[in-house]
Amino acid sequence: MKRDTQIFDIIELEKQRQLKGVELIASENFVSDQVMEAMGSVLTNKYAEGYPGRRYYGGCEVVDLSEQLAIDRVKKLFNAEWANVQPHSGAQANAAVFLACLKAGDKFLGLNLSHGGHLTHGSPVNFSGLMYHALEYNVKEEDQRVDYDQLETVARKERPKVIIAGASAYPREWDYARIRKVADEIGAIFMVDMAHPAGMIAAELLENPLKYAHIVTSTTHKTLRGPRGGIILMGKDFENPWGIKTPKGEVRMMSSLLDSAVFPGMQGGPLEHVIAAKAVSFGEALDPSFKIYQQQVRKNAQTMAQSFIDKGYNVISGGTDNHIILVDLRTKFPQLTGKVAENLLGEADITTNKNMVPFDSRSPFQTSGLRFGTPAITTRGAKEPLIQEIVEFIDTVLSNPEDAKTIAAVREKVNATMSQFPLFGW
């Protein structure tokens, strides 16, 4: 076959885009060359429905080794007793938990999407809101932190079967112990979706939810810096039989329910090339250098939050405990929407995303906020002085929305700066 230059030229364009710009999307990162190599390996050719040692296809003895290695490493990384590394994405991992724990129409409780929650935690346009009865809790207006009193009130009144903690745009630590307490009181399953802060949790910079939750889900591609994918973990509760009976009357363990929910419940053949890449990234996260990286991610996030505050921006909750900074633009630029701000910054090769802020007066298509994150820029080697410079770039662009010349000048500076921060073997 002749080389498909059409697609490889497009891939090269994307590579150049990534190299020349400042990447501040909180859910993105740059994987290592080894992670990339495993993803592009011969393992993509293999069908392996089932789990290591119990597959529906022949020839799985080699992929069994890599999937088992991924399981062993992720258990060690998060101090888990049980792991499933097959979910194709974070949404698939969450869907599998729903399938294992709920019947259609059952109640569950999650953080309001416009207060930082994720689509899969009950949005009306997502399977979670379409198939199940979604209830929500909010953050408080005065400090934009989770309203645990409200969470408890709703939980006691509605008695949801599952309570979810975790979010896409919440810059603060969680009080997992408090949620577990109310979950136990009403007999609910407590699930934590740690997709965003997983890397920081692995580096022990944030509380490990496995100590409190019955079930923990995550993506592998955000702070954790692995390939795109999902995982499901359990800690000490994994042996609980949950009283769920099969048609034959046997009581099933949650681990077995979750395995069945992923395959054959949600998915067919696992992506063994991605699972091998997950194993590589878990190995990287077990290395002491990963902790140093995560410490820098957090230092950079705190520097960014403070730099925005110093320039008169309203940083939601007044700062950050993790890698996320959520800015309410209305304080400094009442007329500027998140949508316009995202586009303006894009013209300067600074990539961010518009985001709802708690109690937003605008729609999700416009929004009043921008979400920033430091995992990707830190992987490129950014330290505090570069972060301060980037906030200066952002402020210049947002203060001059009509001035194409100023924005072009910022883009030139961004490109020149980023050329000094190469990526792995690129």
Q: Smallest distance from the beta carbon of 314 to ligand PLP, in angstroms?
A: 23
Q: Does 267 bind ligand PLP (CB under 6 A)?
A: no
Nearest residue to ligand PLP, by Cβ distance, number only? 90
Placement of tokens 């518009």 in the chain:
354
71 binds ligand PLP (CB under 6 A): no
Q: For ligand PLP, which residue of 126, 168, 320, 367 counts as binding (CB under 6 A)?
A: 168
Is 406 designated active site? no
Out of 193, 207, 259, 272, which one is annotated catalytic? 193
Answer for which of 160, 166, 235, 338 binds ligand PLP (CB under 6 A) is 166
Q: Three-state SS across the chain? A: CCCCHHHHHHHHHHHHHHHHCEECCCCCCCCCHHHHHHHCCHHHHCCCCEECCEECCCCCHHHHHHHHHHHHHHHHHHCCCEEECCCCCHHHHHHHHHHHHCCCCCEEEEECHHHCCCHHHCCCCCHHHHHCEEEEECECCCCCCECHHHHHHHHHHHCCCEEEECCCCCCCCCCHHHHHHHHHHHCCEEEEECCCCHHHHHCCCCCCHHHCCCEEEEECCCCCCCCCCEEEEECHHHHCCCCCECCCCCECCHHHHHHHHHHHHHCCCCCHHHHHHHHHHHHHHHCHHHHHHHHHHHHHHHHHHHHHHHCCCEEHHHCCCCCEEEEECCCCCCCCCHHHHHHHHHHCCEECEEECCCCCCCCCCCCCEEEEECHHHHHCCCCHHHHHHHHHHHHHHHHCCCCHHHHHHHHHHHHHHHCCCCCCCC
Compare residues 213 and 348 and give the one whose CB is closer to ligand PLP: 213
Count of residues of this chain found to bind ligand PLP when the rule CB under 6 A is applied: 15
Q: Which of 20, 46, 47, 107 is catalytic?
A: 47
Pick the closer one to ligand PLP by CB: 196 or 354.
196
Tell whether residue 369 is a contact of ligand PLP (CB under 6 A). no
> Of 50-58, 66-74, 166-174, 288-296, which segment contacts ligand PLP by CB under 6 A?
166-174
Q: Is 222 a catalytic residue?
A: yes
Q: Is 49 noted as a catalytic residue in this protein?
A: yes
Q: Which stretch binds ligand PLP (CB under 6 A): 2-10, 162-170, 258-266, 317-325?
A: 162-170
Q: How far is the CB of 167 from ligand PLP (least distance, A)?
A: 6
Q: Which amino acid is at 275?
A: I
Q: Which is nearer to ligand PLP, 226 or 230 (CB)?
A: 230
- 354 scored as a contact of ligand PLP (CB under 6 A): no
Known catalytic membership, residue 228: yes
Known catalytic residue at 47: yes
Residues 205-244 that bind ligand PLP (CB under 6 A): 219, 230
Q: Which 10-29 residues touch ligand PLP, going by CB under 6 A? A: 27
Q: Does 126 bind ligand PLP (CB under 6 A)?
A: no
Q: Pick out residues in 95-124 that bind ligand PLP (CB under 6 A).
A: 118, 120
* Nearest distance, CB of residue 185 and ligand PLP, angstroms: 25
First to last CA, the chain: 26
When binding is defined by CB under 6 A, the residue of 31, 165, 182, 195 that contacts ligand PLP is 195
- Options 95-103, 164-172, 205-213, 405-413: segment touching ligand PLP (CB under 6 A): 164-172
Among 28, 136, 193, 237, binds ligand PLP (CB under 6 A): 193
Q: Has 395 been annotated as catalytic? A: no
Among 48, 70, 91, 200, binds ligand PLP (CB under 6 A): 91
- What is d(CA 128, CA 47) in angstroms, rounded to the nearest whole number? 29
d(CA 87, CA 391): 36
Please give the Cα distance from 275 to 262 (Å, whole number). Answer: 14
- Indicate the residue among 55 and 145 with the shorter CB distance to ligand PLP: 145
Contact (Cβ atoms closer than 8 angstroms) between residue 393 and residue 348: yes
The catalytically annotated residue of 222, 298, 354, 371 is 222
- Which residues sit at the interface with ligand PLP, rule CB under 6 A? 27, 89-91, 94, 118, 120, 166-168, 193, 195-196, 219, 230
Catalytic residue ranges: 47, 49, 193, 219, 222, 228
